[in-house]
Amino acid sequence: MKTWNAKDSEVQRQWWLVDADGQTLGRLATRIATILRGKDKAVFTPHVDTGDFVVVINSKKIKLTGNKLLDKKYYTHSRYFGSLKTFTAQQKLESDSGFLITEAVKGMLPQNKLSRQLLNKLKVYEAGVHPHATQKPQTLTIKKTAGKK
């Protein structure tokens, strides 16, 4: 028996459109990471990029459960003394909501050279419009879970 591996030239890529309006951040990010990596395809090979492109719209309307808006922190550091900056998820949502989705998906991809290539296939937009209409993305529906009342 021989093992079959996918090759870059054989992979057929699709474009998916995801509406983040009212979606929970973590559940959305896991689904996007699966599609970017290609794990939902029969030709999945761990060391080859077999995934599809994902366009996320309405990133400003993403939901975070619990107290994560105020408790979750993001840090940046320029490697100079005293340059550590701390932002809450709410501050990042107001200034750059695409950052939240990108960071959540980045954390769910493998930490290797391939993850940079996979992350380049993720396009996040704050509004409901995007410049990828010529690629004819298919709409991907992700079930919204009912939260506690």
Find the DSSP H helices in the chain: 25-37, 68-71, 89-95, 97-108, 113-119
Beta strands 138-139 and 15-19 are parallel
The domain that holds 24 is classified in CATH as 3.90.1180.10
Rounded CA separation 79/88 (Å)? 20
Note whether residue 87 is domain-resident: no
Q: What is the mean pLDDT of residues 9-16?
A: 92
Note whether residue 26 is domain-resident: yes
Note whether residue 29 is domain-resident: yes
| Intra-chain end-to-end CA distance of the chain, in Å | 55
Which pLDDT value is given to residue 109?
96
Note whether residue 86 is domain-resident: no
Rounded CA separation 118/106 (Å)? 9
pTM score of the predicted model: 0.90
Which pLDDT value is given to residue 32?
97
Number of domains composing the chain? 1
Closest CA to 109 of 122, 92, 96, 124: 122
Which pLDDT value is given to residue 4?
85
Note whether residue 5 is domain-resident: no
pLDDT digits (tens, 9 = 90+) for 123-134: 999 999 999 999
Note whether residue 146 is domain-resident: no
Note whether residue 78 is domain-resident: no
Residue 27's domain comprises 14-64+95-139
